[in-house]
Amino acid sequence: MKIHEYQAKAILARYGVTTPRGEVAFSKEEALQAAQRLKSNICVVKAQIHAGGRGKGGGVKLARSAEEAADIAGQILGMKLVTPQTGPAGRIVKRLLIEEGLDIKRELYLGLLVDRASGRVVFMASAAGGMEIEEVAKKDPSAILRETIHPAVGLEPYQARKIAFGLGLPLEVVNYATPFLEALYRAFTDTDASLLEINPCVLTGDGKLVALDAKMTFDDNALFRHKELRELRDLDEEDPLEVEASKYSLNYIKLDGNVGCMVNGAGLAMATMD
């Protein structure tokens, strides 16, 4: 199950991860009020859909006043946002995140995911933040740092420091980075997430690490333990047929074509489809 950026940031904030001040808005009027409350010289208006690459599609824009933020909100709300991850069908924008602007000195990439090969959680990091990590991995695999985490001990302080130094962070920031990275790991494991991605994580002019973006995906099989997470589900962002199937506890994945496969196991499903 995927959630929106503003929902992921709210979860991370509870674990002590620094995030920008921001509010969700569902209308132009709410966007105006949110921007006024922020009292920031620059506001960022961000479309909230379950897909990356929103900036390239015109879904992330800067505003220098509350009135300009409201005007931009009126343009983005209701638009069909097409990004490399949505495909040509795109997604209709129904909610926005109105957020304070920051003094960005550097952009980094941080990610946690389950590595199927090792059967463990892997912490990935790169100094090439703000870029699609797939492109970074393709062009320069050595630019991505990887730390495999033992499930019995969790992310150890030396691993966090190794990541911080590997990213080339200033010495005075490394001590602050260690609890920041440890908090990300706790958020990942406590919520039974399958993916946690901060792209970018920024180093601000005053030497702070801030999660400027946040993407979280949870293991559906563990949601029975997290009633509060189930309530974050946005059915508008899911395929209607998959939503209907979930009502009957069916695992249904919509694909292209006109032939369907009914099977009783993931391996058999892939073999049958092939």
pTM equals 0.88
User: Based on the domain organization, do 83 and 135 belong to the same domain?
Assistant: no
Q: Phi first, then psi: give them for residue 86, nearest 5 degrees.
A: -90, -20
The answer on 191 and 91 residing in a single domain is: no
Q: Specify the pLDDT at position 257.
A: 87
87-to-26, 77, 256, 257 alpha-carbon distances in Å:
24, 19, 13, 16
68 in any annotated domain: yes
Please indicate, yes or no, whether residues 37 and 49 belong to a single structural domain of this protein: yes
Q: Is residue 52 a contact partner of residue 69, using CB atoms and an 8 Å limit?
A: no
Give the domain range for residue 122.
104-221
- Domain of 155, CATH number, reads 3.30.470.20
50 part of a folded domain:
yes
Indicate which residues carry an active-site annotation. 109, 197
Q: Which residues contact 99 (CB under 8 A, 6 or more apart)?
A: 20, 21, 22, 38, 43, 44, 46
Question: Rounded distance, CA 32 to CA 72, Å?
Answer: 10
CATH of the domain at 91: 3.30.1490.20
Do both 118 and 131 map to the same domain? yes
25 shares its domain with 53 = yes
- The two tokens of residue 14 are 């509870």
Query: 115 and 203, same structural domain?
Result: yes
Whether 234 maps to a domain, the answer reads no
CA-nearest of 156, 211, 152 to 178 is: 156
- Based on the fold, state whether residues 172 and 190 are members of the same structural domain: yes
What is the chain's pLDDT, residue by residue, as a tens digit (274 residues)?
Answer: 999 999 999 999 999 999 999 999 999 999 999 999 999 999 999 999 998 888 888 999 999 999 999 999 999 999 999 988 887 888 999 999 999 999 999 999 999 999 989 999 999 999 988 777 777 777 877 789 999 999 999 999 999 999 999 999 999 899 889 999 999 999 999 999 999 999 999 999 999 999 999 999 999 889 999 999 999 999 888 888 988 998 888 888 888 888 888 888 778 888 988 8
**For the chain, what is the domain count?**
2
Are residue 155 and residue 195 in the same domain, yes or no?
A: yes
Instruction: State which of 64, 83, 100 marks the end of a domain.
Output: 100
Interval 24-59: pLDDT, tens: 999 999 999 999 999 999 999 999 999 888 888 899
Q: Is residue 193 part of a domain?
A: yes
Question: Would residue 177 count as lying in a domain?
Answer: yes
Q: Residues 96, 123: one domain? A: no
Q: Are residues 41 and 120 in the same domain?
A: no
CA distance 239 to 255: 11
